[in-house]
Structure 1
Amino acid sequence: MSQDAKRTWKCPECVSRLPKSDNTNTPLRALSSSGTAGGGADGSDTDDQISNVTLRNKSKTSGIQTSDGDLHAQKYVTEATLRAVIRQELASTLKASISEHLADEISGVKLQLIEFQNSLTFFNKTFEDLRKENSDLRKAQSNILTELKVVKSENSSLKKDLASCTSRIKHLEEECSRQQQWTRLQNIELVGIPENKLENTTDVATKIFKHIGVNITPDDMEFAHRVQPRRPASAGRGRAIIVRLKQRAIKDQIIAAARKRRTIVAKDVELGKDTDLIYVNEHLTRENKGLLAACKLKAKESGFKYIWTKNCRIFARRSDSTPPIVISSTADLEKIA
């Protein structure tokens, strides 16, 4: 037996003691003169009276009459029945409440799942785009690295070529400077002679050479003319005169005589004032002139006693007892220390 059946079970003896009920006591039954039910003198019902009553079998239900006279059967309410009803109502209520709550929760979860799915779709698309972009970048990087290797190789080759060209250009410049200086080996530069529009540069050079003790004729000179752009009047000095001699020996003779004479005043040769000094030099190129000036400055700082040129080459000597030093480039200035 189930627990509910066990709780409601009663033995036959107890059941027999329960009150019995029927439907003989009905409003439709005729009353006797004494006020008790029954139609005859002996208190028994007549056939007509009994025919008006519907007799029912005894049961555990009692009739409940409604306002319209209908009878509805109703069970006796027991503890088990009450518990079952309460349990059923609670189950129904909980089921409805849980169903409603779950429906709301499921609806919210569905919305969240939809949003999550949309977000996931967006992230997947973004990831695919990024992966494609990354792949393109990798390809571009690979191409760039390949091109970079080629450029590095070309750059290395160009550096070698540039170094070779630089060395060759430097060599050519030195060679060109030597050639230019060689072509000036028979030239003499006269500096500090005032200019005159009516002057004859050949006669001027002849007069200066004669003054220092070298007698030459115009036939010994190939040309004599002034060089460099005309100086402004404020400069106070005329342009240099370049004299090219036909023989190198005559040129060396003039340079030696001028160094012995040391100072030549323009007034002594009737070419200017007594304040105008004339210098007789070898005709150096622009580069060698700059190197000579730097050499003189360095020698003055280092205490060198002599700086001079011979055959358009620059020499330096610290004292009378030291050997001369040849200065051919700016790198050689380190020798003067």
Structure 2
Amino acid sequence: MVAKCSACCKFMSSLEGACVDCHTCKRAYHRDCVGVLKNRSVPSSWVCPDCKAKLPRSNQDDTPLKTRAPSCSSPETLNQESLLTKTDGNIEANLVDELRAFRLEMSQTREELIGLRQDLYELRSTVRSCESRLNKVEETVQTLLEAQASGSGSDSGIIKVVEALEANVARLQNDLNDRDQELLANELEFSGLPEEIAENPMHLALACAAKLGVPLEERDVVSCARAGALRREVGARPRPLALRLARRDTREALLRAARVRRHVTTEGLGQKSEPRPFYVNERLTKLNRHLFYRSRQIGSRLQWRYIWTKDGRIYARRDTGAPAHRIRSEADLLKTFGPDGVRSQTAES
């Protein structure tokens, strides 16, 4: 689990090397939060300010009282008091700067969320319009089919109209799928993470990001949950962990880090199961996920070298230097891999 600073409650990375542990209460702090210089070595008996304030003080009743005039302060005492005042002032100045930076970052995040909500609203409006058009086309097709079944009208003319409408329906379905994929532009999923009882998806996602070397905080995450219905079968694959982020650049940074660290495992994430590899992928719609699976199966059998996704789009390339083909539907599978390849894969499945 990622530790938090007991003073500012922010997450601390073990790679920073800028934290100290209290000898008494065993709590961890940022050096800046407790006024400890970064280049200064800290003894193992160091205690935090809270524990230092709780230490008992000896009265020393046998020491005689001495009076001292206010004007007789020694230079050493004045220097110590001045140093303490300057240290307190530096800590307060650092806290004020940090609060201002945090307020500015929160303001920027709020503006990004407002823009994201506006984009989502426009996408929902477009999807509703496409659904309405699709319903009208389906009603027209049904009417024509009923008319054809009753024997009224020209058969050849009806067939042409039906074919044109079916092509229009396929085009609208592809458009709807593209709009749904755009709604997932800021999402990705962690697959291969064992699913345990009473787990915390947010902490698990933050730990995975820290292991990939990408700094991620809770304010960067819009939502985090397991995707799909609970699988109760013995030996079933764990559900992927769907992560929706507030910014697109954070998603791209996680995907780039996952490509570099291809063999990262769940070791050190605090899970009870044995360490196993986990993967970070783009989040696809149900149709795109099915097409990507089919493309990989057919491409593997036909020895195509490259099958990949980018920004939710599926691409295939036979070899280095060959043109890339985009796959949006079953018709694109036939056009890309040929009828024989698709039929052979269907027969095997």
TM-score (norm 1): 0.51
Percent identity over the alignment is 26
Structure 2 residue 153 is the aligned partner of structure 1 residue 153: yes
Bigger Rg, structure 1 or 2: 1
- 1:186 Cα deviation (Å)? 1.0
- Cα deviations by residue, 1:255-291 (Å, 9 ceiling, x for unpaired): 1111111123223423353453312110011111111
Instruction: Report what 2:187 is aligned to.
Output: 187
- Asked if 1 retains the 8 angstrom alpha-carbon contact of 2:174 and 2:328, the reply is no
Query: Mean alpha-carbon deviation: is it higher for 237-246 or for 318-327?
Result: 318-327
Instruction: Report what 2:244 is aligned to.
Output: 244
Code of the residue aligned with 1:322 in structure 2: it is A
Aligned length: 190
Aligned-partner Cα distance in 2 for 1:157–1:335: 31
Aligned-partner Cα distance in 2 for 1:307–1:271: 33
- Cα deviations by residue, 1:70-128 (Å, 9 ceiling, x for unpaired): xxxxxxxxxxxxxxxxxxxxxxxxxxxxxxxxxxxxxxxxxxxxxxxxxxxxxxxxxxx
Give ranges in structure 2 of 5+ residues lacking alignment.
1-147, 339-349
Structure 2 SS opposite 1:214: coil
Instruction: Report what 1:59 is aligned to.
Output: none
Structure 2 residue 340 is the aligned partner of structure 1 residue 335: no
- 1:210 Cα deviation (Å)? 1.2
Code of the residue aligned with 1:317 in structure 2: it is R
C-alpha spacing 1:233/1:264, structure 2 compared with 1 (3 Å) = farther
Structure 2 residue 304 is the aligned partner of structure 1 residue 304: yes
Instruction: Report what 2:260 is aligned to.
Output: 260
- 1:217 Cα deviation (Å)? 0.7
Instruction: Report what 1:171 is aligned to.
Output: 171
- 1:163 Cα deviation (Å)? 3.1
- Asked if 2 retains the 8 angstrom alpha-carbon contact of 1:193 and 1:272, the reply is no
Instruction: Report what 1:229 is aligned to.
Output: 229
- 1:329 Cα deviation (Å)? 2.4
- 1:250 Cα deviation (Å)? 1.2
Code of the residue aligned with 1:335 in structure 2: it is T
Counterpart mapping for 1:27-38 below 5 A: none
Aligned-partner Cα distance in 1 for 2:228–2:281: 16
C-alpha spacing 1:155/1:336, structure 2 compared with 1 (3 Å) = closer
Instruction: Report what 2:276 is aligned to.
Output: 276
Code of the residue aligned with 2:336 in structure 1: it is K
Structure 1 SS opposite 2:273: coil
Query: Mean alpha-carbon deviation: is it higher for 321-330 or for 218-227?
Result: 321-330
**Any runs of at least 4 consecutive aligned residues in structure 1 with deviations exceeding 6 A, and if so which?**
none
Structure 1 SS opposite 2:151: helix
- Asked if 1 retains the 8 angstrom alpha-carbon contact of 2:184 and 2:284, the reply is yes
Aligned-partner Cα distance in 1 for 2:291–2:245: 25
Give ranges in structure 1 of 5+ residues lacking alignment.
1-147
- 1:181 Cα deviation (Å)? 0.7
Structure 1 SS opposite 2:281: strand
C-alpha spacing 1:233/1:266, structure 2 compared with 1 (3 Å) = farther
C-alpha spacing 1:176/1:277, structure 2 compared with 1 (3 Å) = same
- Cα deviations by residue, 1:222-243 (Å, 9 ceiling, x for unpaired): 1001121111141343221111
Instruction: Report what 2:318 is aligned to.
Output: 318
C-alpha spacing 1:307/1:160, structure 2 compared with 1 (3 Å) = closer
- Cα deviations by residue, 1:277-311 (Å, 9 ceiling, x for unpaired): 31211001111111111111121122222221110
- Asked if 2 retains the 8 angstrom alpha-carbon contact of 1:291 and 1:330, the reply is yes
- Asked if 1 retains the 8 angstrom alpha-carbon contact of 2:187 and 2:243, the reply is yes
Aligned-partner Cα distance in 2 for 1:235–1:173: 35
Aligned-partner Cα distance in 1 for 2:306–2:168: 34
Code of the residue aligned with 1:281 in structure 2: it is N
Structure 2 SS opposite 1:197: coil
Aligned-partner Cα distance in 1 for 2:317–2:194: 33
Code of the residue aligned with 1:290 in structure 2: it is H
Structure 1 SS opposite 2:195: coil
Aligned-partner Cα distance in 1 for 2:306–2:271: 30
C-alpha spacing 1:297/1:259, structure 2 compared with 1 (3 Å) = same
Aligned-partner Cα distance in 2 for 1:268–1:324: 40
Instruction: Report what 2:199 is aligned to.
Output: 199
TM-score (norm 2): 0.49
C-alpha spacing 1:165/1:268, structure 2 compared with 1 (3 Å) = same
